[in-house]
Structure 1
Amino acid sequence: MSAPAASPATADLSDAAPQAQIAEPVFRDFGGRAAFSGQVVTLRVFEDHSLLRAALETPGGGRVLVVDGGASLNCALLGGNMADLAVRNGWAGVVINGCVRDTAELRGKELGVKALSAHPRRSAEQGEGEQQVSVMFAGVRIEPDDWVYADADGLLVSREALHLP
C-alpha cells in the first residue's frame, strides 16, 4: 500500500477558500496521522458503536468517517480494534463528536482521529443510529459527500474538494 497523499494545511485552505466552514476548536487529535482529508461518510449515533464498526468494515477508499455521537462524554465510540479495521480498509480518518479509548494504541495507527476526549468505557452494540444523514456539531453542518480537511490547526468542511492555487 502506498503512502497517503499529503493533506493541504487547513490554514492555507482557509485562506484560499474563505467560503469553507471551520469547526469550533473543540477536537483533540488522537491518531497517528496528524493531517488527513477526504470525502465524508456520516453517522449519527448515541453511545452505540455498531454502525461505526459496520462502516469501518467496508472499503474506505481514502474517505473520512464523520460521527455525530451527540457529544456524549459517557463512553468511547472508537478504540484500537476499530482503528485497526479503519487502517486495514483504507479510511483516511475518523472525526467523532464524542469520545475514543485506547489512546496509546490510536497514536500508533496510520489514521487521523479527532474526538472530544478519551473515556475508558466501551459503548453499547445495539445497532441504533442513522447513516448518511446531515449532522451538525462544533458550529458546522456536514453533509454526506462533503469534504473534510483536518490537521493540528483544526477542521475545515467544504461542499467541493479544495485545491491550493
Structure 2
Amino acid sequence: MSTAAILLATSLIPALAAPLPPPEGEVLLRVTGNVDNPNVADELHLDRDQLMALSPRVVETQTPWTEGVGRFEGPLFRAVLEAAGAESEYVRVLALNEYEIEIPVSDLQEYDVILAIKRDGEAIAVRDLGPVIVLYPFDEHPELLNETIRHRSVWHVEAVDVP
C-alpha cells in the first residue's frame, strides 16, 4: 500500500474522543441515545465550562428572533457530537417547552452551527431563549434565512438525542 493510500485511509478514521468527566457545574445540555462516550449513566452531560472547551466559536449575526446583530458564543454543534462519540445521519433536538425537531448532521458539517450559550458576553438566560440555542451563521450564509432552517434553529435547548 502506498504512503498516500495509508494517509487517506487513516484520515477517514474518526479520532476517538476521550470521555469527559461528569460535570461540576449546572448541566446545560444532555446528549442522549447512541452515545459512545457517556459521563453520567449512558448519557453525556455538559456544563458551561465543558461546552466552552469544545471548539468554542463566536458568531456575529442577526437572527430571525432577536433584534440587531448579536455576538453569540458556544461550541460547534459537530464538536459536541464528536465528544459524545455520536454518529448518525440526523439528531433530534429537544427544547424545554417540548418542541423537538430533527436536524441533518450534514447541516452541521456544511455550516459552522454552534450551540450558543452566551450572547454579547453574557450567559443566555431562559427568559432570553437560553440556556442553549442552535445557531446557524445567518449573516455569513444568507441562504440559511428560510423556513426550514428557522425551524431547526431551536432555542431553550435541553437535550440532543442521537438515534
Tell me, yes or no, whether TM beats 0.5. no
From the two aligned structures, give the one with the greater helix fraction.
2
TM-score norm. by structure 2 comes to 0.24
Max Rg structure? 2
Higher RCO (CA-CA < 8 Å; seq separation 6+): 1
